[in-house]
Chain A
Amino acid sequence: MAIKKSKHFFEDELIETIGEVSEEIYEQLPNNKDLNYIGKKISRYDGYEKVSGKAKYTFDIKLPNMAYAKILRSDLPNAKIKSIDISIAKNLKGVLEILTYQNIDDIDFYGENGKLLDQHVKHEGDEVACIVAESEKIAETASKLIQVQYEKLGFSTSIEQSTRDNSVKIYDWGNIRNGKPDEYERGNVEEGFLQSDFIVEDTFTTEVVIHHPTEVHCSVVNWEGDKLIIYDSTQGIFEIKKSVSEYLKISEDKVQVIKKYMGGGFGSKLEAGKYTVLAAILSKKINRPVRLAVDRKEMSLATGNRPDSIQHLKVGVKKDGTLMAMTHEAKAAVGAYPTGGGCSWPFKQIYLCPNVKTIDFSVITNTGKARPFRAPGHVQGTFGLDSIIDDAAYKIGMDPLEFRLKNYAEKDQVWGAEYTSKLLREAYKEGAEKINWERRNKVPGSGNGFKKRGIGMATQIWWGGGGPPAHANIEIKNDGSVIVYSGTQDIGTGTYTIISQVAAEILEIPIQKIEVILGDTDKTPYGPSSGGSTTAPSISPAVRDAAEKMKRKLISASAAILNVDEKELFYSLGSVSDKSKTNKLSITEIAANLKGQKLFTEGSREENLKGYVAQTFGAQFAEVEVDTLTGFVKVLKIVAAHDIGRTLNRQTLENQFHGGIIQGLGMALMEERIMDSDFGKMLNTNLHDYKIPTMLDIPEIEVIIVSEADVKANNMGVKGIGEPAIIPTPGAISNAVYNAIGVRVKSLPITPNKILKALNS
């Protein structure tokens, strides 16, 4: 073991970390067909708990004497609180305490851009007060009795309104984060365009979409003396531990964060929310446990979203299909508190092109703050990119797939790094075969009848290689039971299951013998947040490391017990024996000899290979049927072919792909935040008006994995899949719609009104 500084991608950011790494080098495991557990369809470790209702989610946690908190939120998009009167509310029977900006400590939130409770509210749904009471109902009733006088301020709720000459300035420094866009350039685009035979140029837009995980954001907190215990529906227990301790200015060691089961998180649960900090302050004040769960409306307004985008794209291409120059200029509304909304990564990375320029503006608006959302930037960026690439291919009369192959990048184009592996060609080939690409309309829109079918595709690139620090420990108790501990968390993706598979595979014991403990900062060694598709590639190598070390430890223990040299002994199928097999000890027998001591090993993720970047690749192909009389798009089939390294569990892998594709379909065809620009308020804050796909919208989905193990990625050959699954879906569907009707709908979601308009033009 050694402590190292390393870098890898987490979400769309290159992060630098310092932490202990494993220096052990292991041979790559055989291909999945020769393994017992890895790659197989193994049912979920926690499946029984979940389907039987025994699993306690954060939302379900009830502590003795617990009180309930609710947040009063602004119903105006931009205002200063002139006065706030809590006296009537406070007198309501059952109300315990009310926090407002007037009686709470001055705690910065969102960098320096706001306070935990601020006198200046900057969007509908911004926090105004927090009430704790004997029941949620009382807290809610009390919230309506708080009298707030506001000074209304001008507001802007769209990119357009925020970037006009006479826009309301939301901050003194203006409405563009950092005062300028994020820019990137390689080569010389002007020259590239001059050398092109054709130039295609267009504008594509996407709408704000909301995460809406099944389990709402919620925390249950309790103080035991000066120690704060937080049950949180979070994607990062260690992140919550760190940031809550910072907000409360207490030692990180005084905070314990626990999360056993979770009803989903798509990025909105990566950071600590105000609700957790407010609950902690209230709990301290009333000296009782406090639960704070937000509702669907609050989820819609104030727990994050994927920013929208207006992408102006230009591509220069030679007659033979060689890409010569590409420019991307995009704006995204990131909400009232600065954060990044860029979407140009796919543009910079996927297709081979010497001259590329990208400009991304993150625009401040009086709406809820954006947060990372399953492949931030990439989903909207890929929709724009793969639309213009399709246009370019049709323009020069080339098969869109052949055009993509013609501009295939063998190496990473941004840093010049080698890929640990890139099997995109294989993904194109297998995907095209399965959808039967030749059936597409060679001339878009040329089908007969009023129901027209079309086929389209889009490419996926993402990181998902993970990296250190990530730890897993293994303990064998005296009774021989095996426990794996890791400070990662299962956010519903199947982390418990894959960890038990890796441990069972390496220790060569039945999977039922493995217990997995995750999600408790006091009981488990550090694990990174579950985001960026990095959990499996960061944690599974650490589990392997701990298990390999355990095998050695078992040999060492057996040598001592048997009075023989370690070299005489070997490990197989959960037992240690010598060559002749006369001496053989099972794990249980070894453990029993250790009298009161347990066997314990610490495993860590190794460093990533220098000079390489581990990325995931893939292609999705969509077949749609468009009713040209009604404008309704029915997705018939999605074929998803991806290079994601080694498959750990075919079942949970398919679950991830289905989830990602369905979520992508929602964004492509129906999901959007609807704002009223006169009032600056969101109109569809429930799950009926905010339309997510129903069973009837879900197509046949076929998942093809073209990779075995990515041997250079890590000792398990694993890369992540959570985000790759969604990235190309909207692009593929939109290209299929174009192929069906011969006119392009350039804005998502592709709703019937837009199809009818396109067909009319």
Chain B
Amino acid sequence: MKTFEYMQPENIESASKFLTKNKDSIAFAGGTDLLGLMKDDIFSPKQLVNLKKIGDLNFIKYNENEGLRIGALTKLSEIENHNIVKEKYNVLYQSIYELATPQLKNIGTLGGNICQRPRCFYFRGDYDCIRKGGDTCFAITGHNKYHCIVGGDPCYIVHPSDTAVALVALNAKFKIFDGKNEKTIPAEEFFILPNVDETKENILNSGELLTEIIIPPINNNTVSSYIKVKERGAWDFALVSIAGVFNKNDNKITDGKIVFGGVAPSPWQDKKINDNLVSFNLTQENIKKLSSLAFEKTDVLEMNEYKVTLAKNLIIKLLLETFNI
């Protein structure tokens, strides 16, 4: 790790302004992701801008009409242990339950989780890869068991965040502040694919900060759930994960949304699947049929074809388990 300066701005405006002006500075929340990258010399910012001491960014508020609002600096463990989250937003709760370790969740923040960098071996290693400004995605001919099956070209990372998948499924909105103005955008528009810009995973420009996550209210017929497939019981990123939020009437899904993690450089939706969820009759046969429609077009690499099967199977598992079929 190289030496750096540690900045403690008074408020969000000065944090954002400092970050805009100083191109080699970076926002520092829990640091669980950032410090690892710095220790491995993946990047070496000159200044760390600490966001933790700025008030107002650490809260969980709930109101039946407006839904759930979470400050970007709220610790993951606080969200995980929040009653409303557990009761009403099961998919978010499970995505956090399944993520990292209790220690990391006691330090890591929701904003940091959403903005964390990819776990690709080549990005995190001593390789001049395309995401770090090089020319090549080494995963294409290298070890690519954990890489994406859709949306990859020219860089085959997967988005690492579990909460991002749940939040997109919940139709969450993200509030972004650039030092002067604030804007609110749908979560799914926050994440970008490498064909837009292969050096970053979201739309944030330097100086822009994620300040708040807004999750719309849900009605009594809504059920939601998250399944994450890992290679061990805990402390592992998703091979593939799936988030589902459904409105239900008797044995029917009236409408719903399924989002995948671990398959693409951003949380991924398969339009065909979500279109088919309108007035969906929950029978074993229908579920199998639905699953077979998924991932018609993929761009698989040598070692990751299993993810196609896994993602399809997860549609079945999600529906069977969520609806106890």
Contact = CB atoms under 8 A, between A and B. Distances in A.
Contacts of B320: 450
B158 to A, nearest CB: 14
B234 A753 contact: no
Interface residues of A, number: 33
Contacts of B231: 669-670, 691, 751-752
A285 interface: no
Contact of B316 (A629, A677, A679, A681): A629
A664 to B, nearest CB: 15
B227 to A, nearest CB: 8
B101 to A, nearest CB: 8
B235 A694 contact: yes
Given A756-B310, A760-B309, A678 B236 contact: no
Contacts of B316: 629
B67 to A, nearest CB: 31
Interface string A729-761: 000000000000000000000011100110010
Given A684-B121, A760-B309, A678 B232 contact: no
Nearest to A676: B142
Contacts of B236: 691
Contact of A696 (B127, B138, B234, B313): B234
Interface string A656-682: 000000000000011000111111010
B103 to A, nearest CB: 12
Interface in B196-238: 227, 229-236
B167 interface: no
Interface SS of chain B: helix, strand, loop or mixed? loop
B239 interface: yes
A678 B234 contact: no
A361 to B, nearest CB: 25
A683 B143 CA distance: 9
Given A676-B138, A676-B142, A75 B126 contact: yes
Contacts of B126: 75, 681
A624 to B, nearest CB: 13
A522 interface: no
Contacts of B142: 676-679
Nearest to A697: B233
A678 B121 contact: no
Interface string B223-261: 000010111111110010000000000000000000000
Given A629-B316, A678-B142, A756 B306 contact: yes
B141 interface: yes
Contacts of B125: 681, 683
A752 B306 contact: yes
Interface string A622-640: 0000010111101000000
Contact of A757 (B229, B235, B306): B306
Interface string A584-609: 00000000000000000000000000
Given A75-B126, A631-B310, A678-B141, A688 B239 contact: no
Contact of B314 (A630, A669, A674): A630
Nearest to A628: B313
Contacts of A15: none
B46 interface: no
Interface string A431-457: 000000000000000000010000000
A479 B130 CA distance: 73
Contacts of A634: 233
A171 to B, nearest CB: 27
Given A753-B145, A760-B309, A694 B234 contact: yes
A630 to B, nearest CB: 5
B317 interface: yes
Given A674-B143, A753-B306, A757-B306, A669 B232 contact: yes
A688 B236 CA distance: 7
Contacts of B138: 676, 678-679
A512 to B, nearest CB: 38
Given A630-B314, A678-B141, A683-B143, A752 B127 contact: no
A693 B232 contact: yes
B314 to A, nearest CB: 7
Interface string A499-516: 000000000000000000
Contacts of A695: 233-234
Contacts of B235: 688, 694
B233 A629 contact: no
Interface in B110-143: 121, 125-127, 138, 141-143
Contacts of B239: 752-753
A403 B316 CA distance: 40
Contacts of A689: 121
A630 B121 contact: no
A688 B234 CA distance: 11
A760 B125 CA distance: 34
Contacts of B127: 679
A747 to B, nearest CB: 13
A630 B317 contact: yes
Interface string B282-311: 000000000000000000000100100110
A629 B230 CA distance: 13
B232 A691 contact: yes
B121 A683 contact: yes
14 contacts: A450-B320, A632-B230, A679-B127, A689-B121, A694-B232, A694-B233, A695-B234, A696-B232, A696-B234, A752-B229, A752-B239, A752-B306, A756-B306, A756-B313
Interface of A: 75, 450, 627, 629-632, 634, 669-670, 674-679, 681, 683-684, 688-689, 691, 693-697, 751-753, 756-757, 760
